[in-house]
Amino acid sequence: MKRIINFAKFSSVKIGGEHEVTVVDSIDDDVRDAVLIGGANNILISPNPPKMAILSKKFDYINLNGDELEIGGASKSGKIFSFAKKHDIAGFEILQNIPGTLGGLVFMNAGLLGLSISDSLTHVLLARGWVPKSEIDFSYRHSGINEPIFGAKFKIKKGFLQSFADEINKKRSDQPKGASFGSCFTNPQGDFAGRLIEAVGLKGHAIGGAKFSEKHANFLINFNNATFFDATELIELAKRRVSESFGIELKTEVVIL
């Protein structure tokens, strides 16, 4: 089944046109040459993107099996957070007020304050079946997975910490408002992308309708109907200036399609 998605409305950064997307109903569907878009929360869509796909509601589930939690790739972060809180399951406090679906969270190994979604993960469901964590190259904001993620299993540890969830909530509530990807770049080792962008004079800098936030320079904000080219030009400017000034190569956390 196909679906037309207007990415200017659907994506978190509100940039992009209308594009056809394949709706995946089964793990057996052949979408090897397509990019799964999840909730399009850290995706920048070009005028001519590759083939794209999105998981159907069949992959929106959470199953509690003894000391194991199985979550479908289309399950939203808010739903997962609420389930973990209700069932006193630790490790999902980091999902407080973070957008996204399970598949996207695992793909980018989402996290905060030194913790990541992969910490309690045991298996990922790919087209070839359940793949153990030991075969996946998880690292900071990276999974190394270059194929559709249909679900994941987690080892349950009791003890949901509301105080930690509140700390996460406070940290995220201080982040800039407006249409954005969240963090635009990953933090280089031993430093912060926001500090580097500010240091090269780009905090608050705008190109067209896109700017680096005055509140946090690592947030690219669509403040006035930004185009794909506004955003990419701003991203490339930051990478170039930081490289020239510090010899550091900034790497995008946002996925550009």
Catalytic residues: 141, 183, 253
Residue 172 neighbours by CB distance under 10 Å: 14
Q: How far apart are CA 120 and CA 93, in angstroms?
A: 12
Residue 95 neighbours by CB distance under 10 Å: 27
Q: How far apart are CA 116 and CA 118, in angstroms?
A: 5
Q: How far apart are CA 134 and CA 151, in angstroms?
A: 16
Cα of 87 vs its chain's centroid, Å: 25
**What DSSP element (H or E) covers 93?**
none
77-86 helix and 162-173 helix, angle to the nearest 10 degrees = 150
3-state secondary structure of 157: coil
